[in-house]
Homo-oligomer: A and B are copies of this chain.
Amino acid sequence: MSASHILCFGELLLRLSAPAGEKLLQSARLDVVVGGAEANVAACLAQLGHAAAMVSFVPDNALGHAARSELRRHGVDVAGVQVSEAGRMGLYFLAPGAVLRTSEVLYDRQGSTFALAAPDAIDWTSRLRDASWLHLSGVTPAIGANAAAAAVRAAEAATLAGVPVSFDGNYRGKLWALWNGDGPGVLHTLLSHTALAFADERDIALVLKKDFGGDTPMERRRRAAEAAFAAFPQLQRIASTIRDVHGPDDHTLTGTLITRDGAFTTRPFRLSRIVDRIGGGDAFAAGLLCGLCEGKDDRTALELAMACACLKHGVFGDFHQVTRTELDDVLAGGGGDVRR
């Protein structure tokens, strides 16, 4: 593993999706991509030139090997992706929405190798050596008791090792319900180790068990952030996007970043004729980590995060395929006529 890499811990998934404009199994094919919230962050960071390393578990079969290889294709260090005899490959099915039909995700992750892995199966001391960040998300502990314990262990080890934790709320009520997990409790613990949180007022409300009023989304987020900064001394930054959904493939996105000293918002970006919305939040997280790792100031890092998130909506698949040139193009106004 490279010096000063960003470590991502979470489940690798296969996404099986219906062709655009079709419902699941309307025709006899499924398009397959590799994804998973934390893997998406790792792949995006690697594409942007940062050393990124993944910690995960996959089954010892053709599916597990393929998922790991695809992550490697994007330049992520996969030495920490363990292969195991037990369990199956985590899947999810996606029916992309259209016109007034909402996109729908059908999770099929029960009994996965990741879910079955023992919480102590990872040697965090060696994995965290030379890491600049540990990135986690709220999807991981939602998978089951083992995964929740593993996520907490990871966060604790990072705090111990002095590695700052980036945590993306990603609350998935359906997953927690499947095993009656204490979502708010576990997220509270994880946030207490977090330096950079991706969370909006609903995430914080859930954890602090308290609602945050306000006339605008930004006002509500500021109030929630204040409460979060009070509750979690280690926490330095809370970032989120305000997503205004006009239709399944037509959104407006605005980026926000709140620190203990200030608050920033970007201009709203109209994203019409979206190709693939999945992974947009992960691209936002990757962009912000990218900016922070490069020593950018908060406003610049936020703009980088937004450019990254917006571009993701125009690329098929969970993993982002992005170049520095494209980011610069968006930061400069972007979306122009053919470049020859």
Q: Once the chains are docked, how many angstroms separate the CA of A278 from the CA of B338?
A: 8
Residues from chain B with a CB closer than 8 A to the CB of A101 are 311, 314-315, 326, 329-330, 334-335
Q: How far is the CB of A87 from chain B (nearest CB, A)?
A: 9
A25 at interface, CB cutoff 8 A: yes
Q: Which residues of chain A from 7 to 45 have any CB-CB distance to chain B below 8 Å in the complex?
A: 14, 16, 20-33
A110 within 8 A of B: yes
Number of interface residues of A (CB under 8 A): 83
Max count, chain B CB within 10 A of own CB: residue among A25, A26, A103, A247: A25
Q: Name the interface residues of A117-175: CB closer than 8 Å to any CB of B.
A: 172, 174
Contact B29 A32 (CB under 8 A): yes
B99 touches A313 (CB 8 A): yes
Query: CA A77 – CA B248 in complex, angstroms?
Result: 34
Q: Which of A24, A100, A278 has the most CB atoms of chain B within a 10 A radius of its CB?
A: A100
Cβ of A26 and Cβ of B99 under 8 Å apart?
A: no
Whether A243 sits at the interface, judged by CB under 8 Å, is yes
Contact A272 B250, beta carbon cutoff 8 Å: yes
* Contact across chains for A277 and B337 when beta carbons are under 8 A apart: yes
Give 25 A-B contacts (CB < 8 Å), ordered by A residue: A14-B25, A21-B276, A21-B316, A25-B32, A25-B63, A27-B27, A28-B31, A29-B31, A61-B106, A62-B104, A63-B93, A69-B74, A88-B110, A99-B275, A99-B311, A100-B269, A100-B330, A101-B315, A104-B339, A174-B340, A245-B337, A246-B335, A251-B337, A273-B273, A277-B337
Q: Is the CB of B314 within 8 A of A277?
A: no
Give every chain B residue within 8 A of A338 (Cβ-Cβ): 97, 102-105, 277-278
Q: Is the CB of A337 within 8 A of B102?
A: yes
A177 to chain B, nearest CB (A): 12
A21 to B315: give the CA distance in the assembly, Å: 5
Count the copies. Answer: 6
| A111 close to chain B: CB less than 8 A | yes
**Which residues in B have their C-beta under 8 angstroms from that of A179?**
none
A54-77 interface with B by 8 A CB criterion = 61-63, 66-67, 69-70, 72-75
Complex CA gap A28/B315 in Å reads 15
Give every chain B residue within 8 A of A272 (Cβ-Cβ). 99, 247, 250
Chain A 282-340 interface residues, beta-carbon cutoff 8 Å to B = 307, 310-311, 313-317, 321, 326, 329-330, 334-340
With the chains together, A30 CA to B69 CA distance in Å? Answer: 18
Residues from chain B with Cβ under 8 Å of A111 in the complex: 110-111
Q: Chain B residues near A69: list those with CB within 8 A.
A: 73-75
Contact of A200 with B by CB under 8 A: no
Least CB distance from A236 to B in Å reads 28
